[in-house]
Chain A
Amino acid sequence: MTIQNISRQPSVEPALRIVIVGHVDHGKSTLIGRLFYDTGAIPAERYDEIERTCKAQGRPFEYAYLMDALEEEREQNVTIETTQTRFRSSRRGYLIIDAPGHKEFLKNMVTGASEADAAILIVDGEEGVREQTRRHAYILALLGISQVMVTINKLDRVGFDRARFDQVAAETVHFLHSIGLTAQFLVPISARQGDNVVERSSATPWYQGPTILDALDAFSPAALDRSRPGRMPVQDVYRWDDVRRYVGRVESGTFRRGDRVRFLPSGRESRIRSIERWPEARVPAAAAGTCVGIHLEDEVYVEPGEVMSRPQDGPVPAVEVHASVFWMGRTPLSLGTRYGFKIGSADAQAEVVAIEERIDPVSLEVRQRYAEWLGESEVGRVVLRLEKPVAADTFETNPKLGRFVLVEQGVVRGGGIIRSLGMASGARSVRVIELGERLLVDPSGALIDLRSEGGDIEIAADARFLARVRAGERVALRFSGMRPFGAFLNWAWEHFIPVTFRREQEGVWVSCGAPEYASATEHYLDGPGI
């Protein structure tokens, strides 16, 4: 492609949304400015204005100024806020989300990146991979962004040395692999000079791959979730003029007039009488992405926050959520604390019952298992207990209903991706047994007697109970049937609780919470124990 092909074309193909991330000063804003300039996306007046500002400050033309609109940003020469601006290639339009690189601006980076279809990770060829390079890449992986390009910048400062490019590229790719990301392209550039950004550079004869713009053209917009099972979180119920409309946006699948529908977590069912999209009183169907009003055949009591689905493939009415959480609050996320939990159109309170792993998003090392808290900009595997059942999916089965935010004092402080869910009672008549509530103290120690329990049960425990068990306190349990015991083993498996058991005529004797598996085994093999 040559530069003459690039113009402001009137096509309306939806823009590809790209986020540009990387360490501070590795050249994000400069790359964006260069893309705008070389594709002719900067109006002449804007260019003149920046040229004047730079001249007044006695600096060479600063591409970064195109993005850094706020006075503070120009004075400090850093981007503070997420910005969106557009440019075009000959193939399609682009919406660039500039995500600032400073550590304290992580929330802006996440805000920007959560909307992106694809990402460019920019790395300074002189400096190599730095702290925020890793942190940002990890956030991309967490947000589920899989279209990623790596570009090694500032190669003019190292004489476009191929060995240096190979070295930094290898270092970056190695890190990406460790977090499950693959770079589709590795592009050597100098953003300031424009090498391999839009125009192929003669300074890198050793590089045969695409320019940044060509590589972007090879990405594709995120597909709408039309093929997944139908989901419409109920955003509100309008009762006007004796008409009850259940309003919401279809997040996945398609709903049609006449469809049998079930609302979760209440489990109420009805049939779609009509789908309204003003000014049309009746449309035949509503596909993913559409905001509609639903009229039902029956006047069912459905609250905002419930999810409309079809009876056969609805979401899970969840009471326990196992998730990867990234925390952006200044005060840490802490064990035993309750937070607001928002998913789809639902609001609930969630208690942090376990922080199974506290992960350093830079080194990816597990800083701590069964931690008490998760600090600002940290990531963790967290278990949340919901105060009431909420309809949810795992991120893998349905991303739109498999992600949530955590709210503290009315403000979003964290985000999470659901790995697995604990079901609520009701939907499949599962009974939840709270271990802490069933704890008895008998002469031989702590005992939970569940011999009277049968059928479908689910085991749960609050933060206090988990902490005691993890601290090494031993708890004995008795079961009479295999199914309740199986439910208990599931719980122990999910929470990494060591368990030993002994099958006997009248049931099962179990001990959990022993600090060392080996010593516990010995104990039980040696004597009657419990």
Chain B
Amino acid sequence: MSTMTTPGLLRVDPEESAYLDALENQTMFIFREAYRRFENLAMLWSIGKDSTAMLWVARKAFFGRVPFPLVHIDTTMKHPVMIEFRDQIASEWGLDLRVGTNREALDSGMGPDKGRFECCTALKTSALQRLIEQHGFKGIFLGIRRDEEGSRAKERVFSPRDRDFQWNFKDQPPELWDQFNTAYGDDTHVRIHPILHWTEMDIWRYIRREGIPVCSLYFSNGTHRYRSLGCVPCNSNFPSTASTVDQIIHELEHTTTPERAGRAQDHEKAYMMQKLRSLGYM
């Protein structure tokens, strides 16, 4: 199975194109604003469709280069084709890739059987926290979207985390007219969300227009496909025959199932995602 799939037929509807241009321009603006304001930036790349599309816009914002490192938090439980895809893209696009893994937790036997909340916190949140401390990153680009899930809907574009990595969602400063809050103390880092305003459908339409390569797991293997990618034990596929980007878009236009239905950590208990995120989860 090929790890990369580039959409075939390129259809450009002028209205759709103008709409996607607006989304893309806003994201470029955010990238450039962060690059201007912060010394030590990195971008979290989950290998999924969102952060891959976001990476594509970063290349547009910086004229073909990506002037900051990419961080992949590898729980070692990712689908093997994701890792293949990652390494292939990283070499083709000349990316500075840094991989972060919480070895200690893995060595002591951490896994979803210890509880999904505990596992996500140890293997993702803590691994990210260590990597940020190790490299002294002051700003992290994250490909989250408002329409994904409730607590993400409440995010700001520039969202500070305190020394203990926590998100104070009850007292966020105002953000207006694209004048972002970009000055923070040294004991904090800022999460920057360049595609917060995009929807799942926007991402797929953009992938179609631009011909962005995405991991093959999003396409049907004949009977099933993945809609959102994560770790193998907590990530389920669903019955689908959509094997091209056009077919995926058609399928999404007619579904009423939420995007993250196949992500077990969202459904473990009430407000799990809010709790994970207030501790620093993506």
Contacts and interface: CB of A to CB of B under 8 A. Distances in A.
A530 interface: no
B151 to A, nearest CB: 6
B199 interface: yes
Contact of B169 (A12, A70, A410): A70
Contacts of A289: 21-22, 25
Interface in A399-414: 403-405, 407, 409-413
Contacts of A190: none
User: Most chain-B CB neighbours within 10 Å: which of A238, A291, A403?
Assistant: A291
Contacts of B156: 111
Nearest to A399: B177
B271 A14 contact: no
A405 B25 contact: no
Contacts of A71: 270-271, 274-275
Interface string A403-447: 111010111110100000000000000000000000000000000
Given A14-B22, A70-B154, A289-B22, A43 B257 contact: yes
Contacts of A85: 146-147, 153
Interface stretch (A75-83, A211-219, A348-356, A483-491): A75-83
Given A13-B15, A45-B257, A114-B176, A247 B154 contact: no
Interface string B157-182: 00000000000011011111101011
B149 to A, nearest CB: 8
Nearest to A84: B146
B32 interface: yes
A69 B266 CA distance: 13
A342 B153 contact: no
Contacts of B261: 45
Contact of A8 (B65, B253, B258): B253
B22 A410 contact: no
Contact of A405 (B15, B36, B179): B179
User: Most chain-A CB neighbours within 10 Å: which of B64, B153, B197, B255?
Assistant: B153
B60 A278 contact: yes
Given A81-B169, A85-B153, A410-B184, A415 B176 contact: yes
Interface string A33-76: 00000000001111000000100000000000000011110000
A403 B177 contact: yes
B175 A412 contact: yes
A107 interface: yes
A69 B154 contact: yes
A382 interface: no
Interface in A204-258: 235-236, 238, 240, 245, 247, 249
A110 B154 contact: no
B29 interface: yes
B63 A70 contact: no
A520 B274 CA distance: 67
A10 B151 contact: no
A69 B32 contact: no
A44 B255 CA distance: 10
A495 interface: no
Given A8-B253, A291-B32, A70 B150 contact: yes
A328 interface: yes
Interface residues on B, range: 35 or more
Contacts of B4: none
Interface string B64-78: 110000000000000
A245 B35 CA distance: 15
Nearest to B172: A81
B32 A236 contact: yes
Interface in B111-152: 146-147, 149-151
Contacts of A247: 32
Contact of B62 (A53, A69, A238): A238
Contacts of B187: none
A44 B174 contact: no
A69 B151 contact: yes
A86 interface: yes
Contacts of A115: 176
B177 A405 contact: yes
A291 B150 contact: no
A108 interface: yes
B92 to A, nearest CB: 14
A357 interface: no
Contacts of B270: 53, 71
B16 interface: yes
A84 B149 CA distance: 11
B179 A412 contact: yes
B33 interface: yes
Contacts of B22: 14, 289
Contacts of A45: 256-258, 261
Contacts of A238: 62-63
Nearest to A291: B28
B205 interface: yes
Contact of B177 (A114, A236, A240, A278): A114
A457 B35 CA distance: 40
A113 B196 CA distance: 17
Nearest to B20: A12
12 contacts: A10-B249, A10-B253, A14-B19, A45-B258, A69-B153, A70-B274, A81-B172, A82-B154, A114-B176, A235-B29, A236-B36, A410-B181
Interface of B: 13, 15-16, 18-19, 21-22, 25, 28-29, 32-33, 35-36, 59-65, 146-147, 149-151, 153-154, 156, 169-170, 172-177, 179, 181-184, 197, 199, 205, 249, 253-258, 261, 270-271, 274-275
Given A12-B19, A240-B63, A407-B181, 19 more contacts: A8-B253, A14-B18, A44-B257, A53-B270, A69-B149, A69-B151, A69-B154, A70-B154, A71-B270, A83-B154, A85-B147, A276-B63, A279-B60, A289-B21, A293-B63, A407-B183, A412-B174, A413-B173, A415-B174
The 5 closest A-B pairs by CB, nearest first: A69-B150, A410-B183, A81-B154, A107-B174, A114-B176
